[in-house]
Amino acid sequence: MPTMASQGAPAAPTPLDTGSALVDKAAMRILILGGTGEASALARGLAGAPGHDVTLSLAGRTAAPKPEPVPTRTGGFGGPDGLAAHLGANRIDLLVDATHPFAARMSRNAALAAARAGVPILAVRRPAWTRQPGDAWTEVATVAEAAAALGPAPRRVFLTIGRQEVAAFAAAPQHDYVVRTIEPLGAALPVPRLTAIEARGPFDADSEAAFLASRAIAVLVSKNSGGSATAGKILAARRLALPVVMIARPPKPAVPAVPDAESALALIRSGAVLGSG
């Protein structure tokens, strides 16, 4: 799963056309910060619903994102001040932070912007994976610690951490790496012995187990993203008794939060979430 740390390069706010007959002035204007399955599910649940005017914001890190059923914008806001200005210019009634669990900067910016603009915020935070019987996890706090945790002896390593973080493993060049990403890594590979694979999930446990066995993987490195879309690799590692170096999530701001899109949708439909600012 790719991460979204900054929502991309700044893009100028585009105010809504409040004079258009197509805009329901009584509708709840919602801005969803997305890039996750939860954001897409929430957008689908609100698409075309009376009383809701929804825009989905994407970071722009994926060249060909999946089509969404609501209007989308791509690019950053210019930090918390830029996002606060966007919220005010577009008269947003609710900001939903449905970014990736590792998008710490964007979540921090969202919380600051909502407070500055006086706009209620709701975060969708999927539960983290937890260690189960049969798991052989080494839990670390950072990607740099994950590279060090691989040890000095050469190993065949499967990296599923997103292309933005691969460079950290240049500190451990003795290993053979297999990296799977949605977007290409580019011509300048950050580690000397690396096999790059482009593929988009979800991947189930059976296909992941077959993949790990076919590549003779000795250890898996993963972020603790949680959710079902990428859980197949964790289930497969358990099945094959493979060790996993698990990178813990960064801290997130203390804002009202729900664990999934369904809970967010229920709150939004009830109108109760507008009291969370």
Is 124 a residue whose pLDDT tops 80? yes
| Whether residue 168 sits in one domain with residue 114 | no
Counting Cα atoms < 13 Å in the Cβ hemisphere of 257 gives 17
CA proximity to 269, closest of 122, 143, 70: 122
Asked, for residue 111, whether it belongs to a domain, the answer is yes
Asked, for residue 6, whether it belongs to a domain, the answer is no
Asked, for residue 232, whether it belongs to a domain, the answer is yes
Q: How confident is the model at residue 26 (pLDDT cuts 50, 70, 90)?
A: confident
| Whether residue 167 sits in one domain with residue 239 | yes
Which range has the worst mean pLDDT, 96-105, 135-144, 177-186?
177-186
| Whether residue 172 sits in one domain with residue 255 | no
| Whether residue 205 sits in one domain with residue 258 | no
Asked, for residue 93, whether it belongs to a domain, the answer is yes
| Whether residue 231 sits in one domain with residue 158 | yes
Is 3 a residue whose pLDDT tops 70? no
Q: What is the mean predicted confidence (pLDDT) over 84-97?
A: 97
Total domains in the fold of the chain: 2
**Domain ranges, residue 115:** 28-126+251-275
| Whether residue 178 sits in one domain with residue 262 | no
| Whether residue 242 sits in one domain with residue 178 | yes
Tokens 């451990």 identify what position? 172
Mean pLDDT score of the chain: 88
Q: What is the pLDDT of residues 178-232, one digit of tens each?
A: 999 888 887 667 788 999 998 887 899 999 999 999 999 999 999 999 999 889 9
| Whether residue 237 sits in one domain with residue 148 | yes
Q: How far apart are CA 208 and CA 212, in angstroms?
A: 6
% the chain with pLDDT above 90: 73
Distance spanning both ends of the chain, measured CA to CA: 30
| Whether residue 113 sits in one domain with residue 80 | yes
Q: Residue 241: left if φ>0, alpha if ψ -120 to 50, beta else—which one?
A: left
| Whether residue 53 sits in one domain with residue 146 | no
Provide the 10 A C-beta neighbour count for residue 241: 9
CATH number, domain with residue 106: 3.40.50.720
Residue 62: the pLDDT is: 67
- Classify residue 108 by its DSSP letter: H
Q: What is the pLDDT of residues 35-55, one digit of tens each?
A: 999 999 999 999 988 899 999
Counting Cα atoms < 13 Å in the Cβ hemisphere of 194 gives 24
| Whether residue 106 sits in one domain with residue 153 | no
